[in-house]
Amino acid sequence: MTQADKSSAVRVRGLAKSYRRVSAVRDLDLDVDYGEIFAILGPNGAGKSTTIEILEGNRKRDAGEVRVLGEDPGTAGRSWRAKVGIVLQEASDAGMLTVAETVQMFTNCYGTVRRPDEVLELVGLGAVAGKRVRTLSGGQRRRLDVALGIVGMPHLLFLDEPTTGFDPEARRQFWDLIRLLAADGTTIVLTTHYLEEAAALADRVAVIVGGRVVAVDSPTKLTGHVSAAATVRWVDADGVHVEKTDRPTDLVKARSQDGTELSELTITRPTLEDAYLHLIGQG
């Protein structure tokens, strides 16, 4: 294991993958540190899923260097796979089994495992452990997918669109679970279409466009890719006003110093969504 492998849970250099004449990933570089939550964003067809599948060892690459937990996922063996948890965007299951039976079955695939009852409590399925999988709601089935992904106590967990189908309350409960896993030392790589999810969870975010990484930074710092000016909006006797400024407090003081009432006053800063749309060329 090289020094770079020791410092990075995932290290990718020059990754390329094509399907016939269509280039899905082109000269992609990526680093994910041990213990961080790393989100990958990008429009449909940007190369996110292909990249993740190569990192998981489930798809061959055409070119490039890839190291995940110090090994090449394309040739790594069973001991490496035992360290990696995967929650696919879509997963099939044995619907005739109960929830508890399904988790118990998966424990036989690993050496060191969490207790099935512990896993089900972690993902909020303890109360339905005895129900048949086919009777679960969409959100509950997604929680079961996560349970199966973490039962082997993975060092690295891949989550592909993990909260699709969740209502807002369930999504925030799931976020708490991800933070708990990260606090326990699990490195997490997730893809998501929910920008608020990336902003809430990720230590760093990579934006992929056209098979290449166009930006990597914390959600807060990514907003530096667009104007940092605040947008001040208010209503007075003359109507609605909107101004951009780097000094919003000074602007508000100047506009109200003669006693003018600034009703419906709002001050907004660029968001991760603004930066994302700018980076993918839709800003």
Both 161 and 253 in one domain: the answer is no
Domain that holds residue 259: 226-279
Is 276 within 8 Å of 207 (Cβ atoms)?
yes
Give the tokens for residue 117. Answer: 């009852």
* Closest C-alpha among 58, 10, 54, 14 to residue 36: 10
Both 114 and 173 in one domain: the answer is yes
Both 162 and 39 in one domain: the answer is yes
pTM for this prediction: 0.82
* pLDDT for the residue numbered 225: 73
Both 166 and 54 in one domain: the answer is yes
* pLDDT for the residue numbered 214: 92
Both 163 and 249 in one domain: the answer is no
Both 60 and 188 in one domain: the answer is yes
Q: For the range 213-221, what are the long-range contacts, defined as Cβ-Cβ under 8 Å and sequence gap of 24 or more? A: 213/28, 213/29, 213/30, 214/279, 214/280, 215/275, 215/279, 216/30, 219/272
* pLDDT for the residue numbered 88: 78
Could you say which of 180, 203, 223 is where a domain stops? Answer: 223
Could you say which of 223, 238, 261 is where a domain stops? Answer: 223
Could you say which of 223, 249, 267 is where a domain stops? Answer: 223
Secondary structure percentages of the chain, helix, strand, coil, to 5 = 35, 30, 35
Q: Give backbone dihedrals phi and psi of 165, rounded to 5 degrees, phi first.
A: 90, 0
Number of domains in the chain: 2
Both 217 and 236 in one domain: the answer is no
Both 107 and 165 in one domain: the answer is yes
Both 244 and 266 in one domain: the answer is yes
Both 273 and 151 in one domain: the answer is no
Both 112 and 208 in one domain: the answer is yes
Instruction: Walk along the chain (283 residues) and give the pLDDT tens digit of each residue.
Output: 555 556 799 999 999 999 988 999 999 999 999 999 999 999 988 999 999 999 999 999 999 999 999 999 999 998 999 899 998 766 656 678 999 999 999 888 887 888 999 999 988 899 999 999 999 887 788 888 889 999 999 999 999 888 877 778 888 888 998 999 999 899 999 998 889 999 999 999 999 999 999 999 999 888 877 766 788 888 888 889 898 887 888 888 888 877 777 888 888 877 888 888 888 886 4
HSE, side-chain direction, 13 A CA sphere, residue 125: 32
* pLDDT for the residue numbered 282: 60
If you write DSSP's letter for every residue of 90-145 in order, what string do you get?
Answer: S----TTSBHHHHHHHHHTT-SS---HHHHHHHTT-GGGTTSBGGGS-HHHHHHHH
* pLDDT for the residue numbered 4: 55
**CATH number of the domain within which 208 lies:** 3.40.50.300
Both 114 and 249 in one domain: the answer is no
Adjacency order of strands within the sheet including 263-268: 239-245, 230-236, 263-268
